[in-house]
Structure 1
Amino acid sequence: MKHTANTKYNVLITGASAGIGKELADIFAANRHDLVLVARSEEKLDSLAVKYAIQYGTKAKVIPLDLAEPEAPDKLFEQLHEEGVQVTALVNNAGFGNYGYFKETALQKELDMIQLNVVALTHLSKLFLQQLTPGKSAKILNVSSTAAFPPAGPLMAVYYATKAFVQSFSEALATELQQDNISVTALCPGPTETNFQDEANLRGSGLFSKQFIADAQSVAQAGYEGMMAGEVVVIPGIQNKITALTAQLMPRSFVRNMVKRVQEKRS
């Protein structure tokens, strides 16, 4: 499924205030797509909306919302429905991680992670598929991770499990929706320079050694281009492609232990 140059989308982006989500919003705005921006920070979203209007003449609707709250997806969908806003592309970007041994980490943070990374993404996909019209080249982009490919992620056990879900769900949905001309793309970045590592307590982990860190703009650009081209899986960067392939080909016990060694903190 290919994107035509004159196709204009009304794009809902979650987690749009920072990191890869913000970079995706910048790219969609620069390409003159209208936006619905969702994140917790109303101030940051308002600033982006003003910027896009001035620079590109792009309309951006701002909805401050914490999608880790179970009722948030329904609230978001109902608000847009009541206001007559038709979403034609959905970007499920919001998510976070958490570092540490599972027996020592905070349960509530991990339950919130599952709610945001898995439940909200699934819930929003179900709701907005009601609006994505078959035959009209509608699109979904789910931000997965190279963490989806190893059999497990010791020291980030719950996060890796959530991304394995996102990857499996996205690829299954992509296959189901082929007949409807609705594309589903899973963007699978590796370590990326955002606020993710601070929020996940990952500073000092070998996972974020300097030579392997991508910039958020290049990751977002790869995701945008892959989504528009109707690609199912987008893995930005040669090193990340090798990592994903290795994780699937090597013995599972070897990969589990390798992931743990890589993620252990050096300082």
Structure 2
Amino acid sequence: MATALITGASGGIGATFARELAKRKYNLFLVARSKEKLQKLAQQLQDQHKIQTDILVQDLAVPGAAAQVFQATSERGFAVDILINNAGFGDYGAFCDRPLQRQTQMVQLNVTTLVEMTHLYLPHMRQQRSGSIINISSIAGFQPIPYMSVYAATKAFVLSFSESLWAENRDYGIYVQALCPGPTQTNFFRTAEFPTANGQTNMDNGASPEQIVHESLKAMSKNQPTVVAGGFSNHLITTLPRFFPRETVVGLVEKQFRKMAEG
């Protein structure tokens, strides 16, 4: 039975990937910071689908975290067939006003840990000449996003990195995907400290995590390296920068995101 390793698996897109892959009879190795949520999800999926599950409580935003995950899967006998690098977070506000530590932790988690995880698990996949890696990027990776400057830059890295690895590894029977959702019904915007009105952000009416995961796994079956998920409007957003000067696009985005703070 194949095994999927999912980071950021305690909720949102990560937990949805876990539920869907459990239905497909994948064993699961789930990683996140929330022990209680991981244990509950792992037990539920193990009982429901008769698969093997294991968890690791790990903060992936600290240096060396990827090596801890790799050591744990090796010691516990998990050979990873699908790696889903889902863990990540964003931050809203003018760059100079936001805490520097939060920005560097974002780079560590969204970029450095993702690269390290990929580098640790890819050699085995090459040896086996099979395997899949899904890296969660974002439609924010297609253009600069003022007031989310570091986040958008990290997702642009993930997009470029993943597309390059898809081309490098396809002759080895390995599939690599850059999954690029738009606004999704998760805790992302609250964690990023977006402005709220009556407890809601104006980005809450996004796609469901189930829709995002469905589109990702459908694209995987077709060997598509880049997946803009969550509806036609997201495809439009990622296409517009091709037809307008970059300064025009970033200027329009700046006005839109500044208005969020102004209400």
Q: 1 CA distance for matches of 2:30 and 2:204?
A: 31
Shift of 1:209: 4.4
1:239 aligns with 2:233: yes
Shift of 1:9: 2.7
Q: 2 CA distance for matches of 1:67 and 1:228?
A: 29
Alignment CA distance shift 1:208-1:177 (3 Å): farther
Q: Deviations over 1:129-149 (max 9, x none)?
A: 122145643100000000010
Aligned match of 1:55 in 48, 72, 81? 48
1:195 aligns with 2:187: yes
Q: 2 CA distance for matches of 1:208 and 1:191?
A: 10
Length, aligned pairs only: 258
Alignment CA distance shift 1:48-1:106 (3 Å): same
Range 77-86 or range 44-53, more displaced: 77-86
**Sequence identity of aligned pairs in percent?**
38
Shift of 1:228: 3.5
Gaps of 5+ in 1: 1-7
Aligned match of 1:70 in 45, 63, 68? 63
SS of aligned partner of 2:236: helix
1:99 partner letter:
Y
Check the 8 A contact 2:31/2:55 in 1, yes or no: yes
Shift of 1:225: 2.0
2:46 partner letter:
A
SS of aligned partner of 1:129: helix
Equivalence for 1:256: 250
1:30 partner letter:
K
Equivalence for 1:3: none
Q: 2 CA distance for matches of 1:121 and 1:209?
A: 26
Shift of 1:178: 1.3
Shift of 1:27: 0.7
Shift of 1:210: 5.8
Check the 8 A contact 1:140/1:227 in 2, yes or no: no
Alignment CA distance shift 1:28-1:203 (3 Å): farther
Aligned match of 1:176 in 168, 172, 179? 168
SS of aligned partner of 2:181: coil
Question: Relative contact order, CA 8 A, sep 6+: which one is greater?
Answer: 1
Q: Deviations over 1:221-265 (max 9, x none)?
A: 111222233210111211111110112322101110111122221
- TM-score normalized by the length of structure 2: 0.93
1:155 aligns with 2:144: no
Greater per-residue helix proportion: 2
2:232 partner letter:
I
Equivalence for 1:35: 28
1:198 partner letter:
R
